[in-house]
Amino acid sequence: MPPRRVVVVSAGVSDPSSTQMLADRLTQRSLETMRAMTCTASARTVRLAPLAVEIAQATVSGLVGETLRTTIEEVGRADAIIVCTPVYKAGISGLFKSFVDLLDNDLLIAKPALLAATAGSSRHALVIDQQMRPLFGYMRALTLPTSVFAAPEDWGAAALSDRIARAATELAVTVHAGIEHGVAERAWSGYQHQFAGNAARAEQTAADIDFDSPLMRLAAGGQPTPAADDAHRVDDD
């Protein structure tokens, strides 16, 4: 099995940051679990705070800076992502959401995604399920069954480690199963894509394009769908 790559996106801004600490623990445990399954894996952590200016610029003008572009490409090539955001004002961090807003719609298709968040109060525990799951659902990421939320009291509870272990196992098993590659192999053309985008399988040249799609047929002076009459004729035969 080729070495697997995990990219960790952390939206924590302080130093030290509890969001970063949670991301680190999830990363460490995930790598250990994968290695235990004889799957070579490495991880790279991206902190969004130093990218804040580039993210804001890209949001208002569409111009993506060099560091941000490299980061997005790495996320696209990752075999799994671990995303971890602080909760602000009862919601995910605006910086985190702004980053996700900049990703091509096909960047995360069927990519295993471990969702995690930290908050100043356990009363924000549902932010992951109410905000992160719909967001990554829209992106068609493969969100793992267990998400990990940490309020201040969780840092003193063994249950947090249990949840981290569970999530890490889910991540390792999902990556090991090669689900993302399997889905992309068999169904990639069924999703909407961005030409020359950042997705690992994005169409970059004519060789990658399906010229038999309805719109491509229309572009070449033809009809968008095969004539209904022809279809019937085949059935009659």
CB of 219 to another protein, least distance (A): 4
- Per CB under 8 A, does 64 bind another protein? yes
Separation between Cα atoms, residue 82 and residue 128, nearest integer Å: 13
Cβ proximity to another protein: between 45 and 105 the closer is 105
3-state class percentages of the chain: helix first, strand second, coil last, to nearest 5: 50, 15, 35
Among 137, 182, 224, 226, indicate the residue that binds another protein (CB under 8 A). 224
- Per CB under 8 A, does 221 bind another protein? yes
- Per CB under 8 A, does 205 bind another protein? yes
Phi then psi for residue 99, to 5 deg, are: -65, -50
CB of 60 to another protein, least distance (A): 5
Among 220, 227, 228, 234, indicate the residue that binds another protein (CB under 8 A). 220
Where in the chain does DSSP place strands (E)?
Answer: 4-10, 41-47, 80-88, 91-92, 112-118, 142-143, 148-150
DSSP tag of 196: T
Among 56, 90, 126, 157, indicate the residue that binds another protein (CB under 8 A). 56
Cβ atoms within 10 Å, residue 153: 10
Among 38, 61, 158, 186, indicate the residue that binds another protein (CB under 8 A). 61
Separation between Cα atoms, residue 73 and residue 64, nearest integer Å: 12
- Per CB under 8 A, does 122 bind another protein? no
Cβ proximity to another protein: between 159 and 220 the closer is 220
Phi then psi for residue 78, to 5 deg, are: -65, 150
202 CB-near residues (< 8 Å, 6+ apart): 76, 104, 106, 193, 194, 195, 196, 208
- Per CB under 8 A, does 216 bind another protein? yes
Separation between Cα atoms, residue 165 and residue 160, nearest integer Å: 9
- Per CB under 8 A, does 192 bind another protein? no
Among 37, 97, 194, 201, indicate the residue that binds another protein (CB under 8 A). 194
Among 45, 57, 98, 105, indicate the residue that binds another protein (CB under 8 A). 57
Q: Footprint of another protein on this chain (CB under 8 A)?
A: 56-57, 60-64, 194-196, 203-206, 209, 211, 215-216, 218-221, 224
